Chains A and B, each alone.
Chain A
């Protein structure tokens, strides 16, 4: 494999296409530029969502009204949820790192449908604008929570329709991305890239794409039904007209539980890339990790009922959902064992991405084990709708997906921008962020066990201590995040230039120049029998 000729070519950042400037980005069908478009738009939305989260934590600094009243608080947690779930963590890893690295990792020049890929981003922007319009115009910001539960979602006087349609359009964007990735993986793998030689991140994207494709339509039509209920009183979820609100909850979670695996599976894939690279050792149990990925994706479809244990459900159904929920723990644990075994006797190189990966394993295990608590029937009745649940899913969704995102950012940053960040500041940022994270969410487990309910702007005096720690934690966390962000932004312009393979990794994206040229490879690579994504000697 020779890449000498291509080094003179302009890389994807400098390439001049049909349009220049901003137009050259928003009309570009290059998967790398689209990945960065997603990255920037998602970073903007993350900052909005994080500000709302900080505002909520500030309100909860003391009992009673601190800065906002009940209605404002309801609107804040609704927007925080809608933005973080639908605009940041669900599209997050596949849309940014999947778009950027999936084609390069399988030795392709682009995804299967580049124009559809750009269209997906446009749908994403449209969905974001629709949701934002619900905030700026009309009679009040939505206050239903991100779940849009019936019947309140069609009774509330707030401006819910744009938010619902926005979520629908975002779902469409997600479906098209999934479809694109599935076809890409099936059709565009380079010669010799057998299924058994695909990098694990690609495998997790494959499983994720199936979930995006097969679960998202369910929530799409369910949201349409809520909109029709608001507009025309069709009666499907309205108990006054014979409909059943519990049916809404079922349909909503049939999507939204698998969506949790859309968030976490690519994160597991990223960790499976980072750990072998910084242990300089073949991943332990490659096939077991693939099997557990597919098992999580499959079983994840069948456990939605565990969100509804207290909503009214037959005992038989409860046992079934609880049992299946426990089954998800097995493949998740297999992955953790494999990562630890990969590190065992490896030559470990402690760099920033590795720190993120190790802290990911730590928070993922706490999040996962607390999931068993909420998944067991008796304990669930006790902690349902308390801060214990809030702590659990922030440990998984923010601790899991968020840590993996930042890990991936520090792992692939040199490839994306051709420059290295300041490693010392990156590590300091990680440490402050990690401490802030633990301080922010750990007290919530305790508060939940004490009985503090979620979604209230007020609480009893006995919960005061834990809330103070959590709010201070939120300030520490955001300080860490600002350090990380500032370091990455300045390094993208001024960092030290790096070569093809700063981490000495074995996957294909490290064989092309940093940043990669427009079409990645001047000739499609051919894998031989001895080549493999984790073949370190």
Chain B
């Protein structure tokens, strides 16, 4: 056992972990990039319908969620600095705030989605197929896929932040081994920046 631990320590390379995270972020960007390409193609082909469908979405809720995510990105960035200054409690407070803000985002999203479902707007619904044009059906299809996939990333991010909170409190993440917190922060910023593009594409361009 002792031998194994020694090897594990030898392999610890924070620089490698960071490069790995950046490479993983590339793959995530490509994943969403495909969806943005599909969005562009269909927006180009169904210009009017996309404008019409976008009016069904409430820019206010979208704006609130944007502000929530921006603040949460700020708090997790601050938590990295706080960890470097060896202030464990403040780090916990900041990562905890990020976690809560992420949950609030999801709650908002839940009410927004269920509002759409109540109006019969969801993929495959009779109401949608009978009352809306093909361009509008595509808009809502993309809306649910892209915000849904984004919400899935928020959930993954929240899981990571949960692990970070636990490990900061037990001290396995500390000023000398901050990589997991830093990488979680990077991931959270990625989730944030994808939303920064989703928000105008679905809510603002009318």
Residue A322 is within 8 A (CB to CB) of chain B in the complex: no
Residue B176 is within 8 A (CB to CB) of chain A in the complex: no
List the A side residues contacting B205 at CB < 8 Å. Answer: none
- A213 vs B28: C-alpha distance when bound (angstroms): 10
Are A217 and B142 CB-contacts (below 8 A) given A110-B11, A112-B20, A183-B23? no
List the A side residues contacting B24 at CB < 8 Å. Answer: 179
Smallest Cβ-Cβ distance to B32: which chain A residue: A221
Residue A243 is within 8 A (CB to CB) of chain B in the complex: yes
Which residues of chain A in 212-237 are interfacial with respect to chain B, using CB atoms and an 8 Å cutoff?
213-214, 216-218, 220-222, 225, 228, 232-236
Interface contact A242-B137, CB-CB below 8 Å: yes
Residue A187 is within 8 A (CB to CB) of chain B in the complex: yes
Interface contact B23-A112, CB-CB below 8 Å: no
Interface contact A241-B137, CB-CB below 8 Å: yes
Which residues of chain A in 232-256 are interfacial with respect to chain B, using CB atoms and an 8 Å cutoff?
232-236, 241-244, 247, 251
Interface 1/0 per residue, B137-152 and A, CB below 8 Å: 1100110110000000
Residue A114 is within 8 A (CB to CB) of chain B in the complex: yes
Interface contact A217-B30, CB-CB below 8 Å: yes
List the B side residues contacting A17 at CB < 8 Å. Answer: 4
Stretch with Cβ within 8 A of A (4 or more), from B34-42, B88-96, B185-193: B34-42
Are A217 and B19 CB-contacts (below 8 A) given A233-B123, A235-B137, A242-B134? no
Residue A175 is within 8 A (CB to CB) of chain B in the complex: yes
Interface contact A234-B123, CB-CB below 8 Å: yes
List the B side residues contacting A113 at CB < 8 Å. Answer: 16, 20
List the B side residues contacting A188 at CB < 8 Å. Answer: 16
Interface contact A183-B38, CB-CB below 8 Å: no
Interface contact A217-B28, CB-CB below 8 Å: yes
Interface contact A217-B38, CB-CB below 8 Å: no
- A216 vs B4: C-alpha distance when bound (angstroms): 34
- A314 vs B16: C-alpha distance when bound (angstroms): 45
Interface 1/0 per residue, A465-503 and B, CB below 8 Å: 000000000000000000000000000000000000000
Among B15, B30, B142, find the residue whose CB has the most chain A CB atoms closer than 10 A: B30
A119 to chain B, nearest CB (A): 13
Interface contact B123-A112, CB-CB below 8 Å: no
Are A114 and B41 CB-contacts (below 8 A) given A18-B4, A175-B27, A225-B145? no
Residue B135 is within 8 A (CB to CB) of chain A in the complex: yes
Interface contact A221-B35, CB-CB below 8 Å: yes
A182 to chain B, nearest CB (A): 6
Smallest Cβ-Cβ distance to A242: which chain B residue: B134
Interface contact B30-A187, CB-CB below 8 Å: no
Among B10, B24, B34, B46, find the residue whose CB has the most chain A CB atoms closer than 10 A: B34
Residue B74 is within 8 A (CB to CB) of chain A in the complex: no
Interface contact B34-A251, CB-CB below 8 Å: yes
Which residues of chain B in 5-37 are interfacial with respect to chain A, using CB atoms and an 8 Å cutoff?
7, 10-11, 13, 15-16, 19-20, 23-24, 26-28, 30-32, 34-35, 37
Interface 1/0 per residue, B31-68 and A, CB below 8 Å: 11011011001100010000000000000000000000
Interface contact B34-A221, CB-CB below 8 Å: yes
A20 to chain B, nearest CB (A): 15
Interface contact B34-A179, CB-CB below 8 Å: no
Interface size class of B (residues with CB under 8 A): 35 or more
> Of A112, A175, A241, which is within 8 A of B13 by CB?
A112
A-B pairs with CB below 8 Å: how many? 97
> Of A183, A236, A247, which is within 8 A of B20 by CB?
A183
Interface of A is mostly: helix
List the B side residues contacting A234 at CB < 8 Å. Answer: 123-124, 141-142, 144-145
Residue B129 is within 8 A (CB to CB) of chain A in the complex: yes
Interface contact B46-A179, CB-CB below 8 Å: no
- A233 vs B141: C-alpha distance when bound (angstroms): 8
List the A side residues contacting B27 at CB < 8 Å. Answer: 175, 179, 213-214, 216-217
Interface contact A241-B34, CB-CB below 8 Å: no
Interface contact A242-B23, CB-CB below 8 Å: no
> Of A18, A179, A236, which is within 8 A of B23 by CB?
A179
Interface 1/0 per residue, A272-292 and B, CB below 8 Å: 000000000000000000000
Residue A186 is within 8 A (CB to CB) of chain B in the complex: yes
Interface contact B34-A182, CB-CB below 8 Å: no
- A216 vs B37: C-alpha distance when bound (angstroms): 16
> Of A18, A116, A182, A233, which is within 8 A of B124 by CB?
A233
> Of A221, A236, A244, A251, which is within 8 A of B142 by CB?
A236
Interface contact A112-B26, CB-CB below 8 Å: no
- A247 vs B129: C-alpha distance when bound (angstroms): 21
Interface 1/0 per residue, A159-199 and B, CB below 8 Å: 00000000000000001000110110011100000000000
Interface contact A232-B123, CB-CB below 8 Å: yes
- Using a CB–CB cutoff of 8 Å, the interface residues on chain B facing chain A are 1, 4, 7, 10-11, 13, 15-16, 19-20, 23-24, 26-28, 30-32, 34-35, 37-38, 41-42, 46, 122-124, 129, 133-135, 137-138, 141-142, 144-145
- Using a CB–CB cutoff of 8 Å, the interface residues on chain A facing chain B are 17-18, 109-110, 112-114, 116, 175, 179-180, 182-183, 186-188, 213-214, 216-218, 220-222, 225, 228, 232-236, 241-244, 247, 251, 519
Q: Which 7 A-B pairs have the closest CB atoms?
A: A242-B134, A233-B124, A234-B141, A217-B30, A232-B123, A217-B31, A234-B123
5 A-B pairs besides A112-B16, A213-B27, A218-B31 with CB distance below 8 A are A112-B13, A113-B16, A242-B134, A242-B135, A247-B38
